[in-house]
Copies of this chain bind each other. A is one copy, B any other.
Amino acid sequence: MPHLQHNGKKIYYEVHGEGQPLVILNGIMMSTLSWAMFLPELTKHNQVVLLDFFDQGQSDKMASDYKHDIQIEVVQAVIDELDLEKVHLFGISYGGVVALQFALKYGNSVDKLVLFNTAAWTSPWLSDIGVGWKKAALLGDADLFYSVSIPVIYSPNFYTKHITWMNERKTFLKQVFNQTFLTAVARLIESSEGFDIRDQLANIKANTLIVSSDSDFVTPADNQLEIHHAIEESAYLEIKNCGHASMYERPTEFLSVLKGFLASEKVPKIG
């Protein structure tokens, strides 16, 4: 299993397939493992680079709090290690937030930028919701943490329709949510505190696609519209009847939109 050392810490990453590199950035409770079901499709035309942020999956845990900066450098370290010149960058939720900032700092390395369910700032509302998640995580109570953080990231209709799968997942996640995992999640949440790049969005020059879900109750569609309006010529799509965890709720739409955008050149605009 490939990994690299960065500032004395291990970064875990994986490379799959061949073609123009597509770097995939995880949401907060995800890891490289989360993408298994999508790899067969994603590797058809692209080399897929998966990575775990610090405090995620098989990368090292951190000893104390930090901000997004260190995660931006995680991405850069992997790109460096693989000697990639220009990559497509995809992020969802926390991954989108890091992707946005990577595109600002290392714009020359980014070909296309794809953001699902991403916000350009941690609003006071999201911050106060984060306080609850963090407190629940630090209590080390897996049941509580599940109830506080998981139902809300699915749309009510999906969660209800797939309740059997959700209950299996609940059983599984409660095992995952041990003390080590939860204190790491608490630090990841804390790293978003004070984040706000709304006034820098116009500096993003990458060819950008932004995707929202109409029932996203964590980063509501307004957040994605704000990014779309700020990044000139960005494309924008909304998945209806879908929650924050859009790739799990609507895998076909997720793949179609992501793969199609990566595969298309801009056509001359009308008007």
Write the residues of chain A forming the contact surface with B, with a CB cutoff of 8 angstroms. Answer: 37-38, 40-41, 44-45, 123-126, 128-129, 131-133, 135-136, 139, 141, 143-144, 146-148, 150-152, 154, 156-166, 209, 215, 217, 220, 222, 235-241, 248-253, 255-261, 263-271
Contacts and interface: CB of A to CB of B under 8 A. Distances in A.
Main DSSP-derived SS at the A contact region: helix
A181 B207 CA distance: 40
A166 B158 CA distance: 31
A240 B240 CA distance: 10
A256 B37 contact: no
Nearest 10 interchain pairs by C-beta: A260-B260, A162-B271, A132-B147, A165-B271, A256-B260, A125-B159, A256-B261, A217-B217, A131-B147, A132-B148
Contact of A240 (B132, B236, B256): B236
25 contacts: A38-B267, A41-B267, A44-B263, A123-B156, A123-B160, A124-B160, A125-B159, A128-B150, A128-B166, A131-B143, A135-B143, A139-B144, A156-B222, A158-B271, A215-B220, A217-B217, A236-B240, A237-B239, A251-B266, A251-B270, A255-B260, A255-B264, A256-B256, A256-B261, A259-B263
A112 to B, nearest CB: 10
Contacts of A148: 132, 136, 148
A230 to B, nearest CB: 15
Contacts of A152: 129, 152, 217
Given A147-B131, A260-B260, A267-B255, A126 B235 contact: no
B209 A256 contact: yes
Contact of A237 (B128, B143, B237, B266): B237
Given A132-B147, A156-B220, A160-B123, A250 B263 contact: no
A78 to B, nearest CB: 25
A253 B234 CA distance: 10
